[in-house]
């Protein structure tokens, strides 16, 4: 009902399943990802300081 011709149904569900699968896959590398996030956050603030 109300769908466009040729539209892929339930794309949100597939996206959600992919997101859950990636979270499960990356859970093994959680400590590394936290370190990378902290490094990128610091880099971002340094970059902003150099622009001013």
Residue-level pLDDT, tens digit, the chain, 52 residues: 455 666 666 667 888 889 999 999 999 999 999 999 999 998 888 777 776 6
Strand, coil or helix: what is 8? coil
- Give the per-residue pLDDT at 8: 60
How far apart are alpha carbons 24 and 35 in whole angstroms? 18
Pick the closest to residue 23 from 35, 13, 36, 33 (CA basis): 33
- Give the per-residue pLDDT at 3: 58
* Cβ(23)–Cβ(16) below 8 Å: no
Backbone angles phi, psi at 2, to 5 degrees: 70, 15
User: What letter does residue 28 receive in the DSSP assignment?
Assistant: G
């Amino acid at each position: 009902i109300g769908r466009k011709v040729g539209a892929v149904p339930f794309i949100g569900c597939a996206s959600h399943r992919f997101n859950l699968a990636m979270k499960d896959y990356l859970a093994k590398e959680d400590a590394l990802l936290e370190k990378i996030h902290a490094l990128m956050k610091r880099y971002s603030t340094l970059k902003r300081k150099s622009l001013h």
